[in-house]
Amino acid sequence: MPDRIFGNSLSLYYKDLQIYARTLEPNMEEAEDLVQETLYKALRFQNQYNDSMSLRGWLFTILKNTRINAFRRKKFSSGFIISDQSLVYGQLTLSAARNDGEINCVLADIERSISVLKPDYSLPMCYFLKGYKYHEIATQLDIPIGTVKFRIHAAKEILKTQLRVYEFH
């Protein structure tokens, strides 16, 4: 199928993709990014599409797989996640029993480690742990996005060293 015809065919399903993306991703901006990524991948890999396939089904599959992969990347991108004052850290213990005392101690150690960081590193890291995106942190702190990424990376490396006792063996 020629590129122009294929592109026009994709546009027929744009609204359907938006609706489906909103069912998978409640954040409106993230859902729109998901649709754009889907259309980009469809154009990029149009040679893998053939006329015997349902274009709508193929697009929905791309969208769903893109969302799953993004979720996995986000889930496994950091060693620990702090959310609403509770620590989720799968490598704390091998038992399935919940130990709030241990979790509170770990959280206190993390907070203590962050508090001894220089403010240039601790502030971007705190924003990052609260869920802000790099560009939002850069805007908030009025520094370049590259500086934000570097400072968060450096803070993570320092924290890994200071919190080495919690490594999974």
Domain ranges within the chain, ordered by starting residue: 3-76, 81-166
Write down the H helix ranges in 12-144. Answer: 14-24, 28-44, 55-76, 100-115, 119-129, 134-141
Residue 147, pLDDT score = 94
CATH 3.50.50.60 fits 3-76, yes or no: no
Residue with tokens 């996005």: 145
81-166 has which CATH code?
A: 1.10.10.10
Q: What does the alpha-carbon distance between residue 124 and residue 11 come to, in Å, rounded to a whole number?
A: 39
- The residue-averaged pLDDT of 131-148 equals 91
Residue 81 or 126, more confident: 126
Checking if the pLDDT of 101 tops 70, the result is no
